[in-house]
Amino acid sequence: MRPQAPMSLNKTSSRVLSMPTLSLRRAAWLALLTSAIALAACNQPDAPPDQAKVTPPAKGKAASSQEAGEKENAEKESNEAGEAGLLRLSAEEIETAGIQVEDLEMKPVADQVVLTATIRANQDRIAHVAPRVSARVAKSVANLGDSVKVGQALAVLDSLELGEAHSAYRQAQSQFALTKADFERAEKLKVDEIIPEKDYLRARSEYEKARAAWRAADDRLRLLDGEHRDSDQGPTSLFPLRAPFAGTVIEKRAVVGELAQPDKSLFTVADLSTLWIEANLFEKDLSRVRLGARAIVTVSAYPEETFQGRLTYISSTVDKETRAVPARVEMPNPDRRLKPEMFATAAIATGGTTSALTLPQSAVLLVNGQPMAFVSEEGGFEPRAVELGEKVGSRVVIRGGIKPGESVVVAGAYALKARLLKSQIGDAD
């Protein structure tokens, strides 16, 4: 058994020798892992700063490029609009738009007194239609705005008083026929001396009274606008309400079933073939106008058109509140385009002449509510606000904004207006 002892000692020694080797390996692995972690921790914070240093310059460069492009576009638009608001067009664009210019000069024009006026219906040709007797509206025939002829029925009314008048008329007519026959017979008998004188006189007296009663019943029926009609032709209490002349129904108050009174009109009929233009003359202008003077009337509904009329009335008195003199221009209205209560401008010719700058009405355009014209300048067209005067035929007087000798666009102004509005929208953006 003793010889085996050394062998046990050797095994123990080998185990002891293997422990440092294992610990060394673990330490090596641990050191390697620690180095890797430290290297990763050192490299990670350095990446973002490098990236931050590189990225912003790239973004800044793109922004600078974008700003440069916008600046270039703005400069291009500014060059197109031109300095001091000039609109610049190429020769081809000018030809395409059909732009033409005219040199303005002071020229003689008819002197006029321009008045603000209101269109009214001709008061000599207007009628308020009402029944002569109280009646109930049985039927409404005419409508508002209808054109009616003289004598045309506007409504049908039902009147108890008219029915009684018809009955009285028929009774008087029958009595008259009877007494007339008696008188004619008595007259023949008197010639033959068959009846005494007193019987003849009595028959004639009855005849005269019956004839007077018949005429009175007939007059009353006519006053009530009734027509002679037998009872078999329908109810005698019905009667039509007729138009007194040809015109247009401008007011209607007839309602079926309501009671109509003689003091309240059911219809208003106006002849609108002629109209009155009512205005006020100032005292300073009284010496400049005369009755019968020609007047040019314009309305906003038809800005490109003018209407001709004559001054037919100047009041003999001055309004103490307005210090103005009422005046009236009478004007034909055959196509019925002008309507009562429209506002109008009346330019009354004084018979004299004056010098003024004028432009075609098509050369003056509204831009943002301001009348403007386009003046030709070197290298472009300048939009110019102008002050307008009265209209003279197809032209309009220019009171300010343009000087004599300047060249103004008289054709193709709409193309310049479109270009101007486009540039204004670009500036707003």
Residues 330, 381, single domain; the answer is yes
pLDDT value of residue 58: 44
Strand partners, 328: 278, 313
Residues 335, 204, single domain; the answer is no
Distance in angstroms (rounded) separating the CA atoms of residues 416 and 381: 8
82 in Cβ contact with 380 (< 8 Å): yes
pLDDT value of residue 156: 93
How many domains is the chain built from? 3
Distance in angstroms (rounded) separating the CA atoms of residues 353 and 355: 7
340 in Cβ contact with 381 (< 8 Å): no
Last residue of a domain, one of 237, 270, 303: 270
Residues 282, 262, single domain; the answer is no
Residues 235, 302, single domain; the answer is no
- Residue 20 domain-assigned (yes or no): yes
pLDDT value of residue 30: 57
Q: Which of 326, 425, 323, 313 is nearest to 367 (CA)?
A: 425
Q: Which residues of 255-280 are buried (b: 16+ CB within 10 A; e: fewer)?
A: eeeeebeeeebbbbbbbbeebbbbbb
**CATH number assigned to the domain comprising residue 363:** 2.40.30.170
Helix, strand, or coil here: 68?
Answer: helix
**CATH number assigned to the domain comprising residue 178:** 2.40.50.100
- Residue 79 domain-assigned (yes or no): no
- Residue 83 domain-assigned (yes or no): no
Last residue of a domain, one of 270, 305, 333: 270
Residues 42, 147, single domain; the answer is no
pLDDT value of residue 279: 94
Last residue of a domain, one of 28, 47, 64: 64
Residues 276, 369, single domain; the answer is yes
Helix, strand, or coil here: 404?
Answer: coil
- Residue 60 domain-assigned (yes or no): yes
Its domain, for residue 105, covers: 91-122+272-428
Residues 276, 423, single domain; the answer is yes
Q: Tokens 């123990």 appear where?
A: 12
- Residue 198 domain-assigned (yes or no): yes
The encoded tokens of residue 202 equal: 């009595």
Q: Tokens 């028959």 appear where?
A: 203
pLDDT value of residue 308: 92
Residues 114, 237, single domain; the answer is no
Residues 264, 281, single domain; the answer is no
- Residue 84 domain-assigned (yes or no): no
pLDDT value of residue 139: 94
Q: Is 84 exposed, middle or buried (0-12, 13-18, 19+ CB in 10 A)?
A: exposed
Residues 105, 233, single domain; the answer is no
- Residue 153 domain-assigned (yes or no): yes
pLDDT value of residue 266: 95
- Residue 241 domain-assigned (yes or no): yes
Residues 266, 346, single domain; the answer is no
Phi, psi (5° rounding) for residue 344? -145, 170
Q: Which residues of 414-423 are buried (b: 16+ CB within 10 A; e: fewer)?
A: ebbbebbeeb
Q: Which of 386, 427, 373 is nearest to 81 (CA)?
A: 427
Collect all residues with Cβ–Cβ distance below 8 Å to 379 and sequence separation of at least 6. 82, 86, 88
The encoded tokens of residue 5 equal: 């002892």
Residues 158, 285, single domain; the answer is no
Q: Which helix (H) or strand (E) holds 426?
A: helix 413-428
- What does each of the 429 residues of the chain score in pLDDT, given as a tens digit? 344 444 433 433 333 334 444 444 555 555 555 555 554 444 444 444 343 333 344 444 444 555 555 555 544 444 444 444 688 888 888 888 888 888 888 888 778 888 999 999 999 999 999 998 899 999 999 999 999 999 999 999 998 888 888 888 888 988 999 999 988 888 888 887 788 888 888 898 999 999 999 999 888 888 876 666 655 555 678 888 999 999 999 999 999 999 999 999 999 999 999 999 999 999 889 988 999 999 999 898 998 788 999 999 999 999 888 889 999 999 999 999 999 999 999 999 888 778 888 888 888 998 888 899 999 888 789 898 999 887 777 788 888 999 898 999 999 888 888 888 887 776 655
